[in-house]
């Protein structure tokens, strides 16, 4: 699995370097993700060591953002002051976006099928 | 026996917060699996509550806690890179519905950010809240690093990401029924665009095809948002 972990860290490193060198606003790890995607497309397949490294990272993915998430204890002020705005935005915003997105995709799919 | 030295050690070692964080997450997984993986019992929600209680009881500050678990935070970087693989594995589906996917991705992606911001703006929310809401539909690791980039509050951003995911997973099927959505591919794609990983877990239950399209949508939405959102926000400033 070491080769896979090195691959992930290497692509992250290259991504961060590119972001710094060209003053990009895109986060370095996302550039690394795109580069790894391009690498896989060119190589036409993954390899077992990378599969294992990826699966262990993604299996415990939610645990990795707990440190950032716990910062919520310092934001109680904002949350209590803007509770209703946040609730409306999250609940209604998500419902409307979900309905809109599914309907749009469905409409475009049906249109493409009828053309054939 | 030297109790003072023991207490001194326990209150200063990062090991204690690492154990608390990983232990709480493991307990979260156990409970989640005991209750047939109910959406509301996400392992992270359970560990949130456990760690929060321990933090409050111990009187430790968030800064102290974060210092102890910084090594976990570090792995968000390689985990983000790792997201390339599931995206690669589902990339073949792009060809079958190329135009619908590209159009929906761009139009619905922008729409879902705008509608959420509009509600906040109409209800007088402040700028940090609005910025933290812009990443609510993308997968949490990318949301954390992107919100740091745009000057939002990462912890709020993660909270919003989780709730947007849970709402989508809970209400998705009902919404699709009301809207008379015909194709599983559309259902999966919408869950991926709006509700990232938690939505994708739900999409897999609808069908394998819905799951594949959800994973595809999640990866593409994450990349597009991380690339264009910082540019748009810098331009508006």
* Interval B120-176: pLDDT, tens: 999 988 999 999 999 999 999 999 999 999 999 999 999 999 999 999 999 999 999
B57 touches chain A (CB under 8 A): no
Residue A116 above 80 pLDDT? no
Q: What interface predicted TM-score (ipTM) does this complex get?
A: 0.92
Q: Does residue B111 have a pLDDT over 90?
A: yes
Q: Pick from B114, B150, B135: which is nearest to B221 by CA?
A: B135
Select the residue of B89, B104, B144 nearest A101 (Cβ to Cβ): B104
Interface test with A, best of B26, B80, B154 (most A CBs within 10 A): B80
Residue B182, number of CB atoms within 10 A of its CB: 14
Question: pTM of this prediction?
Answer: 0.90
The pLDDT of residue B8: 87
pLDDT tens-digit map of B188-223: 999 999 999 889 988 998 999 999 999 999 999 999
Contact A94 B194 (CB under 8 A): yes
Per-residue model confidence as pLDDT tens digits over A80-101: 899 999 999 999 999 999 999 9
B residues 110..129 contacting A (CB < 8 A) = 111-112, 115-117, 119-120, 123-126, 128-129
Q: Give the model's pLDDT for residue B39.
A: 83
CB contact under 8 A, B87 and A58: no
pLDDT at B96 > cutoff 90: no
Q: Is A57 exposed, middle or buried (0-12, 13-18, 19+ CB in 10 A)?
A: buried
CA distance B123 to chain A (A): 5
Confidence grade of residue B82 (pLDDT, cut at 50, 70, 90): very high
Residue B12 has a pLDDT of 80
pLDDT of res. B171: 93
Residues 130-189 of B with CB under 8 A from A: 133, 136-137, 140-142, 144-146, 148-149, 153-156, 158-160, 162-164, 167-168, 171-172, 175-176, 178-179, 181-183, 185-187, 189
**In percent, how much of chain B has pLDDT > 70?**
100
Residue B223, pLDDT score: 95
Residue in chain A nearest B77 by alpha carbon: A29
Write b or e for each residue in B21-59: b if 16 or more Cβ atoms lie within 10 A of its Cβ, otherwise e.
bbebbeebbebbeeeeeebeebbbbbbbebbeebbeeee
pLDDT at B102: 94
Which residues on B lie below 8 Å from A8 (Cβ)? 78, 81-82
Average predicted confidence (pLDDT) for chain B: 92
pLDDT, residue B236, reads 86
Q: CA B218, CA B87: separation in Å to the nearest integer?
A: 8
The C-alpha atoms of residue A56 and residue A47 are separated, in whole angstroms, by 15
Provide the pLDDT for residue B137.
Answer: 92
Token representation of residue B148: 């740091």
């Amino acid at each position: 699995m070491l080769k896979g972990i090195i691959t992930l860290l290497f692509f992250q490193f290259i991504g961060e370097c590119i972001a710094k060198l060209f003053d990009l606003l895109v986060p370095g790890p996302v550039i690394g993700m795109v580069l790894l995607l391009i690498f896989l497309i060119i190589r036409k397949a993954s390899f077992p060591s990378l599969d294992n490294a990826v699966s262990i990272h993604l299996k415990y993915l939610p645990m990795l953002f707990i440190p950032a998430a716990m910062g919520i204890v310092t934001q109680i002020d904002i949350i209590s002051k803007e509770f209703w705005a946040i609730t409306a935005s999250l609940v209604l915003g998500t419902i409307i976006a979900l309905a809109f997105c599914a309907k749009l995709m469905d409409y475009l799919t049906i249109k493409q099928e009828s053309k054939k | 026996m030297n109790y003072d030295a023991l207490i001194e050690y326990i209150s200063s070692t990062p090991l204690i917060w690492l154990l608390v964080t990983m232990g709480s997450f493991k307990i979260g997984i156990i409970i989640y699996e005991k209750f047939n993986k109910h959406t509301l019992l996400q392992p992270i929600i359970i560990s949130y509550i456990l760690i929060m209680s321990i933090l409050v009881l111990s009187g430790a500050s968030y800064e102290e806690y974060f210092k102890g678990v910084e090594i976990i935070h570090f792995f968000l970087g390689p985990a983000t890179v790792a997201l390339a693989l599931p995206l690669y594995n589902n990339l073949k589906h792009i060809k079958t519905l190329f135009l619908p996917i590209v159009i929906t991705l761009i139009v619905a992606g922008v729409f879902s950010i705008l509608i959420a911001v509009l509600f906040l703006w109409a209800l007088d929310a402040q700028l940090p809240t609005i910025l933290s809401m812009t990443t609510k539909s993308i997968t949490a690791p990318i949301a954390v690093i992107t919100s740091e980039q745009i000057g939002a509050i990462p912890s709020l951003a993660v909270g919003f990401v989780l709730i947007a995911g849970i709402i989508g997973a809970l209400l998705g099927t009902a919404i699709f029924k009301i809207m008379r959505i015909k194709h599983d591919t559309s259902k999966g794609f919408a869950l991926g665009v709006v509700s990232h990983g938690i939505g994708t877990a739900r999409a897999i239950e609808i069908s394998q095809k819905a799951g594949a399209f959800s994973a595809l949508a999640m990866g593409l939405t994450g990349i597009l948002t991380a690339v264009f959102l910082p540019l748009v926000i810098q331009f508006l400033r």
